[in-house]
Chains A and B, each alone.
Chain A
Amino acid sequence: MSTHQTSFVRASIIEASPAPARESGIAFWLKKNLFATPKDTALTIISLLILAWLVPPALEWLFIDAAWTGGGRGVCATIAQGGSQPEGWSGACWAFVNAKFSQFLFGRYPLDERWRPALVGILFVLFLVPMLIPKIPYKGLNALLLLVVLPIIATILLPGGWLGLTYVETPLWGGLMVTLVLSFVGIAVSLPLGILLALGRRSNMPVIKMLCTAFIELVRGVPLITVLFMASVMLPLFLPQGVTFDKFLRALIGVSLFASAYMAEVVRGGLQAIPKGQYEGADSLGLSFWQKMNLIVLPQALKLVIPGIVNTFIGLFKDTSLVSIIGMFDLLGIVRLNFADANWSSAVTPLTGLIFAGFVFWLFCFGMSRYSGFMERLLDTSRR
């Protein structure tokens, strides 16, 4: 009916015009992020000065002045110290790490038998990597291989003593191998045990609740080193005469129990965050306690506390370094043991060794925290 005539109708959308020159480009970024206010400018300049003062000497020490190859302490010591470097030289002694590398991996494990831990390590990587990539199928089989088959193979291969393998006692174990075995077992034990303890703490059976609470609070209240001392000096007292426990096993028990208590608190946080309706819903469907927990509550609760769980794993991984105090040689312990090697002792050896060990620890922990962030985003069903 309307005879209204539009005088102009745009037939096509015009291109968005570029942002004004002052609102884009490098100059804008610099202005916005580094020189927004006088205070910012001052902070930027101070930080740049500190960086310029610290970073080039550090890089020079680590890479340019470093001694990369060599067969003894000579390459890492100045002439006055009995070496070949000029007076006033200081740099990283990577030749030391290079020469001791296989010891850092396997400790004092016999040379001829090192294929055994190496094989276990390769299997570990082969089973772990597909487990971590969500797209790869057969997760059930994979978990079975990683959590059941691998530990069995490792218990046969690492100590040996049967199937024609020579027995390698645990005091000879060392290096990254010990760190990884301790953390793997600690992680594999502490998660289920921690869940059980958390459920026990929220149980309505007073005796169970009291025992779980007492255990959790007792362990969380004391430092790990006292737990390790307890495991190494008090456990033998508790056993009948003649029964001995391997020292490595004792440390393993100590570390696992310690991590379980922390894990229990993390899981409890998740359990508390699940609305009561979920519990009641499961009850009204007639599910048993374990069905309710396994199918309804725990999947939601654990998903909520993934960051906390991984933080506990990272803490556990770092805490394995403490076993060096009770006389075992994990990665940090074996690196420190080698400082005393007369063939390599020099002023820069300790720093180089510690930087190497720190880098390895950092790599594992940073990897774990990054993976947990990825997992969190993947499982986050609430925001999409």
Chain B
Amino acid sequence: MAIGVTNAPEKRKSSGSILNDSHVRGLFYQALTVIILALLVYWIADNTIENLRRANIASGYGFLNSRAGFDVGQSLIAFSSDSTYGRALVVGFVNTLLVAITGIITATVIGFIVGIGRLSHNWIIAKLSLTYVEVFRNIPPLLVIFFWYSGVLSILPQPRDAITLPFNTFVSNRGLTFPKPIFEEGSQYTILALLIAVAASFVFARYARQRQMATGQRIPVLWPVLGLVIGLPVLTFLATGSPLSFDVPVEGRFNLVGGSVIGPEFLSLYLALSFYTAAFIAEIVRAGIRGVSKGQTEAAHALGIRPRLTTRLVVVPQAMRIIIPPLTSQYLNLTKNSSLAVAIGYADLVAVGGTILNQTGQSIEVVSIWLIVYLSLSLATSLFMNWYNARMALVER
């Protein structure tokens, strides 16, 4: 490439053919891509319309209002086979959210314990944590789900010989049966009291922080807040005459009668996702804590800060900065992996969508709903985590 002496290479005038101008070439390649893509899309759309016409499938989202005709195993909102397809999808979405949120909480707790365990000076704890991580990281999540579903939960005893746990809870191959709380008249005041207590705690903590910033005086926060959050609801509960009773499951002749049941499908999915994702979170936590330079700890000690406060005020805030971005993607992975529910028949969004797809043949519509829901979930999680990350990020001068 013999180029004459030019000061601004981007604006150079090609002395030779226009074919060698990188700007012109770029435009040409892009135009070519757009044309090929447009032709491809046209061809696909044409084929699709033709195929749909042949198969007599009416496109559009009208089918969402017709009767579903199938039942859903577990549902948080009312659903019967007379409900619509649209409602079935909502049920599936709620179930996806349920397993994702509970799974994220459990996976975070296990992951932090194991991750900190890997850094322990105690040889046996470190090795146990390492074993946990290496086992679960290298096995497909689907296999872990089947392990719980067909390997463990399905060979538990029948409901009539269910294993009895404390608090009238039973474990059998039909899942976990536990006393169902019945909220009677007046129980809404207790919930209201809890909400008020939480709100008041936030205000109080904010006030305490501002006061410390302004005057240097510290007001104890932990104990008043604990007292408020526990005390106020308990007092209200007692004052309104304990409006809560339990529907306790009783062993019947063949089955357990009463109580609430969490099915084995949810349990296996929840356990598998938590255990599997926890292995990845553990590695993230370990890397985060290791990523805080030792000088930070030493400097804190040199300033006379006690070890516990060093961990809380110096190491953890800096480690969180490293931990949060990859942690976000693990949360998203867990949410997406919850779609494996379809393999064991837990009625999540994909499983319900699959049933509808088989019944109606509306594949494009169902797949588009999946895409929109999962993409918005991803987007919502990343937005929240970005906001949190921005709060935790290093404040530069």
Interfacial residues, chain A to chain B (CB-CB below 8 A):
33-34, 36, 40, 43-44, 47-48, 51, 204-208, 211, 218, 220-226, 229-230, 233-234, 236-241, 286, 288, 314, 318-319, 321-322, 324-325, 332, 336, 339, 347-348, 350-351, 354-355, 357-358, 361-362, 365-366, 369
How many angstroms from the CA of A348 to the CA of B374 in the assembled complex?
37
Q: Is the CB of B363 within 8 A of A43?
A: no
Give 23 CB contacts A-B under 8 Å: A40-B122, A43-B124, A43-B125, A204-B26, A207-B34, A222-B336, A222-B375, A223-B336, A223-B340, A223-B350, A225-B350, A226-B367, A226-B371, A233-B363, A239-B47, A318-B138, A318-B140, A321-B140, A325-B142, A325-B340, A350-B155, A366-B138, A369-B138
Question: Which partner residue on chain A sits nearest B335 by CB separation?
Answer: A223
Cβ–Cβ < 8 Å partners of B379 in chain A: 221
Q: Is the CB of B138 within 8 A of A365?
A: yes
Q: Determine if B5 is an interface residue (Cβ-Cβ < 8 Å).
A: no
How many angstroms from the CA of A351 to the CA of B147 in the assembled complex?
7
How many angstroms from the CA of A179 to the CA of B120 in the assembled complex?
38
Q: Is the CB of B370 within 8 A of A332?
A: no
Q: Is the CB of B339 within 8 A of A225?
A: yes
Q: Is the CB of A362 within 8 A of B138?
A: yes
Q: Is the CB of A240 within 8 A of B47?
A: yes
Question: Which partner residue on chain B sits nearest A239 by CB separation?
Answer: B47
Cβ–Cβ < 8 Å partners of B383 in chain A: none
Known: A226-B350, A286-B1, A350-B150. A206 touches B374 (CB 8 A): no
How many angstroms from the CA of A362 to the CA of B51 in the assembled complex?
43
Q: How far is the CB of B39 from chain A (nearest CB, A)?
A: 14
Cβ–Cβ < 8 Å partners of B139 in chain A: 318, 358, 361-362, 365
How many angstroms from the CA of A43 to the CA of B116 in the assembled complex?
13
Q: Is the CB of B142 within 8 A of A241?
A: no
Q: Is the CB of B121 within 8 A of A207?
A: no
Question: Which partner residue on chain A sits nearest B31 by CB separation?
Answer: A207
Cβ–Cβ < 8 Å partners of B125 in chain A: 43-44, 47
Known: A222-B370, A321-B140. A366 touches B354 (CB 8 A): no
Q: Is the CB of A221 within 8 A of B340?
A: no
Q: Is the CB of B52 within 8 A of A358?
A: no
Number of interface residues of B (CB under 8 A): 56
Question: Which partner residue on chain A sits nearest B341 by CB separation?
Answer: A225
How many angstroms from the CA of A348 to the CA of B151 in the assembled complex?
8
Among A225, A321, A351: residue with most chain B CB under 10 A: A225
How many angstroms from the CA of A206 to the CA of B26 in the assembled complex?
10
Q: Determine if B102 is an interface residue (Cβ-Cβ < 8 Å).
A: no
Cβ–Cβ < 8 Å partners of A336 in chain B: 146, 150
Q: Determine if B391 is an interface residue (Cβ-Cβ < 8 Å).
A: no
How many angstroms from the CA of A224 to the CA of B350 in the assembled complex?
11
Q: Which of B133-192 contact A (CB under 8 A)?
A: 134-135, 137-143, 146-147, 150-152, 154-155
Q: Is the CB of A358 within 8 A of B367?
A: no
Cβ–Cβ < 8 Å partners of A314 in chain B: 138
Q: Is the CB of B337 within 8 A of A208?
A: no
Cβ–Cβ < 8 Å partners of A211 in chain B: 33, 37
How many angstroms from the CA of A43 to the CA of B120 in the assembled complex?
11
Cβ–Cβ < 8 Å partners of B154 in chain A: 350
Known: A47-B125, A225-B339, A229-B354. A318 touches B370 (CB 8 A): no
Q: Is the CB of A332 within 8 A of B142?
A: yes
Q: Determine if B48 is an interface residue (Cβ-Cβ < 8 Å).
A: yes
Q: Is the CB of A321 within 8 A of B142?
A: yes
Q: Is the CB of B363 within 8 A of A208?
A: no
How many angstroms from the CA of A40 to the CA of B51 in the assembled complex?
68
Known: A229-B354, A237-B52, A339-B150. A358 touches B143 (CB 8 A): yes
The 4 closest A-B pairs by CB, nearest first: A365-B138, A33-B123, A223-B336, A223-B339
- Which residue of the partner chain, among A44, A208, A369, contacts B122 with CB atoms under 8 Å? A44
Q: Determine if B30 is an interface residue (Cβ-Cβ < 8 Å).
A: yes
* Mask of B113-133 contacts with A, CB within 8 angstroms, 1/0: 000000011111100100000
How many angstroms from the CA of A36 to the CA of B122 in the assembled complex?
8
